[in-house]
Structure 1
Amino acid sequence: MRDRRSQATSTGVRMPDLASDGLGRRIAYYRSVVRPKMTQQRLADVACVSLGTIRKIERGERGVTDATLEAIAGALGVDPGRLRADRGRAQSAVQAALPALSAAIAAYDVPDDGPVRALPELRTAVSEAERWRLAAQYTRIVRDVPGLLAELARAYHRAGSEERRELARLLVSAYRSADSVAFKFGARDLSARLMELMRWAVPEAEDRLLAASVAYVRTETFFAAHAYASGLRALEQALGTAPSPGAPLQIAMRGALHMRAAVIAGRAGDAPATRSHLAHARLLADQVSEGVYYGTAFGPDSVRVHEVSVAVSLGADHVGQALDLARDWRPPAELPAERRSGYYIELARAQLWSGLAEHAFESLKVARRIAPQHTREHPWVREDAATLRRLKRADSESLTNFAEWCAAT
């Protein structure tokens, strides 16, 4: 995505560039001095910004939009306010954009008469939004997805029956990308509404595997409400109606449901169900290669990540198992950033519970390097960073900066 001196979003909201006076020098300082191993290419990759854009920003040759500044600051692990000239705390671009997202879904059944791109272009736009979701690039999602949802609604209501099925599938994927932001940033009412729309669109798509993927996503509602037993029942019902495992897609979706069920069973304290679902997930993962299936990562590495999550969920005597699983293994770079950062967040909690405070802090820093926006908004990160500050009476500057970055109290 290109930065412009005054960038118009797909929702019609104009996002002015920030003054570039000294901003590039501060970005270069944090990248080369505070984060000495971070090259311009690495910063570009983590922030999902082109290398040429990073170079021009650091040289002061171009301005920076709020969305780009959020992405760069997140990649550097600093609050955006530290990069601004006035050093004031930046208003969250995500929170500011949530009303536009809410407005876009409110009109899902009464869309306006705006333009609609060709179906191949809509596929590309939805795939890009999914890529941002898997990379935990939430500012990118809230900038473009509201307009995309409105456009998909227009396309859906104008289309014939054949095209409607595919457009319903695209709507589910776009709703899921939007929900990743709403849920992570605590907009639970908006998240619930997006979930309703996903469930509305599934029958229109006539795709049983898509229904299984929505059941996977719906589990976050039960996690948020601490209704773990109910969530487990919902997943087991979804397993009962999911297609039998045959082709890789069918195997992967069934495996993903078992993987998710193992975690929520652990939160429910149901150890037998946890072991059973995890065993099924392992068996199915061995039959497919690691990949993203219907928007969900699944395969041997994803199951390994969830084994750590399950051990942390069960707590008590199982925490040591999480440390054992992590001793000689790290999630490969090919896994989506959000999943890899989640692994280190879970591992940090196990390390903290085991009295390994230094190791826990290192894991949190790794999570931040991988997916800064996901790490910053994760409630466990705030809780654990606050605990680490209390445990370390002589706070190091890096721990204090980290706690301030994620708003730990």
Structure 2
Amino acid sequence: MPIHSRSGVGGRIAYYRSVMRPKMTQQQLADAACVSVGAIRKIEQGDRGISDATLESIADALGVDSSRLRSDRGAASTPVHESLPLLSAVLLTHEFPEDGPMRPLDELRIAVAGSERWRLAAQYTRIARQLPSLLAELARSYHQVPARERAEIVTLLVKAYRAADAVAYKFGAHDLSARMVDLMRRIAPEAEDSLLSASVAYVSTETFFAARAHAAGLCALEKALAQTPTPTTPAEVAARGALHMRAAVIAGRASAVSAAQTHLTEATALATRIREGVYHGTAFGPDSVRIHEVSVAVSLGHDHVSQALDVAREWKPPSDLPAERRSGFYIELARAQLWSGKAEHAFESLKVARHIAPQHTREHPWVREDAATLRRLKRADSETLTNFAEWCAAT
């Protein structure tokens, strides 16, 4: 794997880190890129080279194309976009996987757990780089393991495809995302796990969001809720609560005010019974419900937008929430602020979202729309706003 020399790469990393708003420390960059702070320090000082993989991880954390950091300034095509055909190909071979390696079950568990952490942290390049081979390996295991191990392999496959789907959906490959969701829905019942099925129902809502079929999506979620067991354990409470959160948002998009408020009330009540955490791959708890209060208010729009501003005046997402969820809060808040005539505040919220999860923010269509609107309004420093708009490809 190529190792880039000290000819300017470290300096460019230090530059982009310093112009982030708010500015990233070396420790924050190291945490976001999953490398040691010592390595960041040495790279920026030019005391060590940097591999392609590390360069891409740092670029992801900074929210810039890796080509901007390379000394040769190569093409700006990102590894995520390049991976989409590979993910499509591996999906096609699920029924008839090619021969290849197959690690023991405990190693596959570790690999899938890593992909779930990357998804929650919005580390999409890491997912794109690792998932095609992992999904192929899991497909081989699915067809070869003894019957007694099939349920766990199905669970691992669903979790891995959920990580791959996050990449497809966030980067606009909605047809590929829908095909992944369809596979998850087909195989999940083999695990005979109602919580796994609930998590698939949660993810499946993406297809309705993408098609703007909000009323149908609400019906699908309410059907899934009817099939979930009466919750007693924390995991069951979280599964049901997450479905109510999702139903509240899509009800808002469908302009079903009463349904949105009912589902949000149910989610709030369930959240009081457990601690905030990640359950079956989905964050749920009091903080997640607070974030969804903002989402519902923005989804309903009009007279409800002020509710999003009210939440934000009193509360901010704690730093231990998944990065993707925290950045989503600020993206939604920015839209509410823009609609309320608070353009400067909206731009500040977008910059906070970028700082938390650059890739998630850059690929979000609302960010592009709102950055373009702010640019037309000329309500912020023109150079800073222009740089932001170009960064997220706002038109």
Place the TM-score, normalised by the shorter chain, in its bin.
Answer: over 0.9
TM-score, length basis structure 1: 0.93
Query: Judging changes above 3 Å, is the alpha-carbon distance between structure 1 residues 173 and 395 closer, same or farther for their aligned structure 2 residues?
Result: same
Cα distance between partner residues in 1 of 2:22 and 2:168: 34
**Post-superposition offset of 1:57:** 2.1
C-alpha separation between the residues in 1 aligned to 2:41 and 2:129? Answer: 23
Amino acid of the structure 2 residue aligned with 1:92: T
Q: Is the counterpart of residue 349 in structure 1 residue 335 in structure 2?
A: yes
Cα deviation digits, residues 303-327 of structure 1 (max 9, x gap) = 0000000000000000111101110
**Residue 31 (structure 1) shift:** 2.4
Q: Is the 8 A contact 1:368 1:376 kept in 2?
A: yes
Maintained 8 Å contact 2:248/2:263: yes
Name the amino acid aligned to 1:350: A
TM-superposition CA deviations, 1:285-337 (whole Å, max 9, x none): 00011011110000000000000000000000001111011101000111100
Kept in 2, the 8 Å contact 1:35–1:76? The answer is no
Equivalent in the alignment of 1:265: 251
1:313 aligned to which of 295, 299, 302: 299
| Deviation (angstroms), 1:73 | 2.7
| 1:131 aligns to 2:117 (yes or no) | yes
Check the 8 A contact 2:161/2:184 in 1, yes or no: yes
* Counterpart for residue 32 of structure 2: 46
Aligned to 1:3: none
Aligned partner of 1:231 in structure 2 is 217
Distance in 1 (CA, whole Å) between partners of 2:379 and 2:283 is: 40
Distance (Å, rounded) in 2 between the aligned partners of 1:126 and 1:368: 26
Q: How far apart are 1:394 and its partner, in Å?
A: 7.5
Partner of 2:135: 149
Shift in alpha-carbon separation, 1:280–1:339, aligned structure 2, 3 A:
same
Bigger shift: residues 89-98 or 179-188 = 89-98
AA at the equivalent of 1:302: S
Are 1:191 and 2:177 counterparts?
yes
Post-superposition Cα deviations, 1:315-363, rounded to whole Å, max 9, x if no partner, equal 0000111101110100011110000000000000000000100000000
Counterpart Cα distance in 2 of 1:227 and 1:331 = 29
Deviation digits for residues 177-217 of structure 1, max 9, x if unmatched?
Answer: 00000111111121111111111220111111111110000
Aligned with 1:158 (options 138, 144, 165):
144
The secondary structure found in structure 2 opposite 1:114 is coil
Three-state SS of the structure 2 residue aligned to 1:179 is helix
Q: Structure 2 CA distance, aligned partners of 1:70 and 1:61? A: 19
Asked if structure 2 preserves the Cα contact closer than 8 Å seen for 1:79 and 1:405, the reply is no
How much does 1:230 deviate? 0.2
Tell me how far apart the structure 2 counterparts of residues 249 and 394 of structure 1 sit (CA, whole Å). 45
Letter in 1 for 2:82: A
Count the aligned residue pairs: 395
Gaps of 5+ in 2: none
Q: How does 1:286-305 map to 2 (within 5 A)?
A: 286-305=272-291
Would you say 1:26 and 2:48 are equivalent positions?
no
Corresponding residue for 2:323? 337
Is 1:388 paired with 2:374?
Answer: yes
Match of 1:172 in 2: 158
Task: Pick the aligned partner of 1:377 from 338, 363, 371.
Answer: 363
Partner residue, 1:11: none
1:60 deviation in Å? 2.9
Q: Which moved more, 1:63-72 or 1:194-203?
A: 63-72
Choose which of 384, 390, 393 in structure 2 pairs with 1:404.
390
Q: 1:230 to 1:18 in 2, by over 3 A?
A: farther
Letter in 2 for 1:280: E
Matching residue of 2:46: 60
The answer (yes or no) to whether the contact 2:20–2:355 under 8 Å persists in 1 is: no
Q: Which whole-Å CA distance do the structure 1 matches of 2:30 and 2:237 have between them?
A: 35
Q: What per-residue deviation string (whole Å, max 9, x for no partner) do you get for residues 73-99 of structure 1? A: 343344434323355652111111111
1:229 Cα offset (Å): 0.1
Residue segments in structure 1 that go unaligned for 5+ positions in a row: 1-5, 7-15
Query: How far apart are residue 58 of structure 1 and its match?
Result: 1.7
1:390–1:88 Cα change, 3 Å: farther
Q: Does 1:95 align with 2:115?
A: no
Cα distance in structure 2, aligned partners of 1:83 and 1:39: 18
Aligned-residue identity in percent: 71
Q: What is residue 234 of structure 2 aligned with on the other side?
A: 248
Question: What SS is found at the alignment partner of 1:234?
Answer: helix
- Structure 2 matches for 1:270-289, cutoff 5 A? 270-289=256-275
Q: Distance in 2 between matches of 1:141 and 1:24?
A: 25
CA, structure 1 residues 66+177, in 2 after alignment: closer, same or farther (shift >3 Å)? same
Q: Deviations over 1:251-295 (max 9, x none)?
A: 110010001000000000000001110010000000011011110
- Kindly state the Cα deviation for residue 395 of structure 1 after the two structures are TM-superposed: 5.0
Q: TM-score, normalised by structure 2?
A: 0.96
Alignment-mate amino acid for residue 29 of structure 1: Y
Q: Is the 8 A contact 2:121 2:323 kept in 1?
A: yes
SS at match of 1:287: coil
Q: 2:245 touches 2:289 (CA, 8 Å); kept in 1?
A: yes
Contact 2:21 2:352 in 1 (8 A): no
SS at match of 2:186: helix
